[in-house]
Amino acid sequence: MSETTATQYALVGAPLEYLTPLERPTLAEAQAWCRELATTHYENFHVATFFLPAKVRPHFESIYAYCRVADDLGDEVEDRGVATRLLNSWGSMLEECYDAPERSMHPVFVALHETIRECDPPRQLFLDLLHAFRMDQYKTEYESWEELLEYSHYSANPVGRLVLWVCGYTDETRALMSDKVCTALQLANFWQDVVEDKERGRRYIPAESMLRFGVEEGQIEGRVFTPEFRGMMQELVVRTRAMLIEGGEISLHVDKELKVVLDLFRKGGEAILNGIARQDFDVLRGRPVVSKARKVGLLMEALAGKVRAGMTS
């Protein structure tokens, strides 16, 4: 094995739980690994997959595992040079998963190949996600709304398109509606995490919005809330909500089972935006959260939708 391949398989410098095993796992072992990652790292994803047919859940879990590991390689590794190297290795392992799957050793790619074999999702969607994680290594501020949309094209939209693809929807019309929902969800998370992102050295509020409303850079770090800041955040939330509603039309064009899942995520995004509005758009005083009562309400609505659709668990 060459030095490059050895480094690729070892993922030297990655979090320990993501290191490649010395022996290739079976498909069942690999899928169990992905399921464990999905159910322990992101509760909302685990809940959402409950409403899907059992036959597609492993595909969702393998896609999530790919995204989760890649995200952590870029975000949890402090040295940006090391993070970039790890992301490049992850990309090489993806290419191998498509071109020479029998050589894949990491559980993510052993499991993901089954998704590729059964559903044939476009390779570029996975590569686009990696491009976003690489962008995070060098781009920490955004100048315009258009730049945010471009970033979301790589960071968020591929996930929605992959979800549609494994459910049998491969047309561009539905994909474009999905893009709007995914971008809006990404933006809602940005507006929710303004202070936390600033502490990580990142600013997703567009500089053009700050300039137009007269908001200074230091107000975020200093948590100085002003009427101008309020006006800026209100405009950003209004634009994001409009995008979320427009893209939400996709629920009218998918089967009832997938509609429940898409509605759940869309309503979760709306709940974030509503939480920001309830704080009078003051995201500097604390992170707006979705209350437990609202989360329970969303789940009850989803369960009711599942019953109405005559689904089986």
Does the structure show a pLDDT above 60 at 271? yes
Does the structure show a pLDDT above 90 at 38? no
3-state secondary structure of 69: helix
103, 120, 138 — which closes off a domain?
Answer: 138
Same domain, 208 and 153: yes
Same domain, 156 and 54: no
Same domain, 134 and 166: no
Same domain, 77 and 148: no
Same domain, 91 and 161: no
Same domain, 154 and 69: no
Mean pLDDT, rounded, for 175-187: 96
pLDDT, one tens digit per residue, over 41-58 is 655 555 566 667 778 889
Domain count, the chain: 2
Question: Is the CB of residue 125 less than 8 Å from the CB of residue 158?
Answer: yes
Q: Report d(CA 80, CA 73) in Å as an integer.
A: 10
Same domain, 110 and 258: no
pLDDT, one tens digit per residue, over 109-158 is 999 999 999 999 999 999 999 999 999 999 999 999 999 999 999 999 99
114, 138, 162 — which closes off a domain?
Answer: 138
Does the structure show a pLDDT above 50 at 279? yes
Same domain, 143 and 126: no
Which residue range forms the structural domain that includes residue 51? 1-138
Give alpha helix (H) positions in the chain. Answer: 3-10, 27-41, 43-49, 57-75, 80-99, 107-119, 123-138, 145-155, 157-166, 172-192, 194-199, 207-213, 218-222, 227-247, 256-278, 292-308
Same domain, 183 and 102: no
Same domain, 59 and 114: yes
Considering 72-81, 274-283, 291-300, the range whose residues carry the highest mean pLDDT is: 274-283
Same domain, 301 and 168: yes
96, 115, 138 — which closes off a domain?
Answer: 138
According to the model, what pLDDT value does residue 16 have?
85
Q: Average pLDDT of the chain?
A: 88
Does the structure show a pLDDT above 50 at 217? yes
The mean-pLDDT minimum among 186-190, 263-267, 302-306 falls in 302-306
Q: Report d(CA 307, CA 313) in Å as an integer.
A: 10
According to the model, what pLDDT value does residue 8 have?
47
